[in-house]
Structures are given as C-alpha cells and as structure tokens.
Chain A
Amino acid sequence: AQRVTQPEKLLSVFKGAPVELKCNYSYSGSPELFWYVQYSRQRLQLLLRHISRESIKGFTADLNKGETSFHLKKPFAQEEDSAMYYCALFTGGGNKLTFGTGTQLKVEL
C-alpha cells in the first residue's frame, strides 16, 4: 500500500536559515510526488510537483528513488514561508492523492 511519511510535525528555523522539510514515500509503482501548502487562514494549495522540476517561491524538491524521498528545500527561509506543508503521492488508476501528516514550518525573526 502507498504511504507518505513526514517525520517532523514542527520545524522551527530562523529567518535566512536553510530549510529542509523531509518526505519519504512507499509505493511499488512509479511515484508522482507533490508538495501542497496551507498558509494561515487560507486553503490548501499546490506548491510544486516533481515532474515539473520547478522552483516555486524559492523552494525546490528532488525525487530520489533510491532513498524514496522527496524533501522540500529552500536556501534562505522567509517569514512568509511559515505554513503547514504536506507531501503528497499520486497513485494512478483510481486517481488518488495520498497526503502525509504535514509539517508545520515556523520561521522566526
């Protein structure tokens, strides 16, 4: 069965420090991975998708199939990055997106 693991419930960093939000997955098929974000009082929204290999708001994530990981990184944290971040795994067939438990990122001044 597919599973997404985000080991940290809360990650607190200082402004300007590097950020790494960890995500590991378990899936026997070819994975498609995403990061979704929920800012305070806003709805859950897509941040980035691994297939696009894009950088959004300074965040990047690389799919590492050997380590079954899809960690989210940003070299210099900003205060506006404070939010809840969810890693998500898509499994085709039934069109199902499975979310991890989420990591609350808090950027302190």
Chain B
Amino acid sequence: EPEVTQTPSHQVTQMGQEVILRCVPISNHLYFYWYRQILGQKVEFLVSFYNNEISEKSEIFDDQFSVERPDGSNFTLKIRSTKLEDSAMYFCASSVTSAGSAGELFFGEGSRLTVL
C-alpha cells in the first residue's frame, strides 16, 4: 500500500541553522500539508499546498518557514533559522482531494527535529 515517506526521521541541529525536512507524498495525491506536534501538545496545522501554491498557512508559519515542491515527487519544509521552540515532530500529509467532505489525509511517520 502506498505511504507518505519522510526524511530524516530525526534531526538534531544548532539554533540558527537552516533545516530542510523532506516528504514524498503518495504519487497520485494533489494536496499536501505540513503539521507539527510539540511534545505533549496538539497536532498543529502549519500549511496546505495545492497546484504549486500555498492554500493556507497558520500564524506559526512565519517568514522563517517555506515549502517547495521542487520536482514531481518531493515536498519540502524549510526552516531558515531554527529556534529552540521549533523543536517538535513534523508531519507531512497528502490527500487526493481537499481535506473536507470525502477527503482523507494520509500522514507520514514524522520527522523529529531537536534544536539545541
């Protein structure tokens, strides 16, 4: 069964460094998402992406964050200058249709980011 894959599974970085988290969505999916979960807290929406454009972003998704679909398969999240509070599990998800009605998000296993 096709799955969303994410790399790396765990990354440790120094504060101020740039980080790129990579995702390979399911191949026929058209909608892509990033969520994050700080330890012990809720799963928070970061951004949704469709047709090579951001559809919506949350207030968390400030100028330090960017997303890109550089080729036909990858979907990346870049954090330009990491802060301690960026430490979290980052989940990528994809869906065939939009997330509502009959939609279903398929999640990756997550990338754990630790900022020191």
Contact surface of A with B, Cβ cutoff 8 Å: 32, 36, 43-46, 49, 51-52, 86, 90, 92-102
Contact = CB atoms under 8 A, between A and B. Distances in A.
A102 B104 contact: no
Contacts of B101: 32, 49, 51, 90
Contacts of A99: 35, 42-45
A96 B45 contact: yes
Nearest to A93: B56
A101 to B, nearest CB: 4
Interface of B: 3-4, 31, 33, 35, 41-45, 48, 50, 55-56, 58, 91, 93, 98-110
Given A43-B107, A95-B55, A97-B99, 11 more contacts: A44-B43, A49-B102, A90-B103, A93-B56, A94-B55, A94-B56, A95-B98, A95-B99, A97-B45, A99-B43, A101-B42
5 contacts: A52-B102, A93-B56, A94-B48, A96-B56, A99-B44
A78 B29 CA distance: 34
10 tightest CB-CB pairs across the interface, nearest first?
Answer: A94-B56, A90-B100, A44-B107, A99-B43, A97-B99, A101-B42, A95-B48, A32-B100, A46-B104, A95-B55
B78 to A, nearest CB: 20
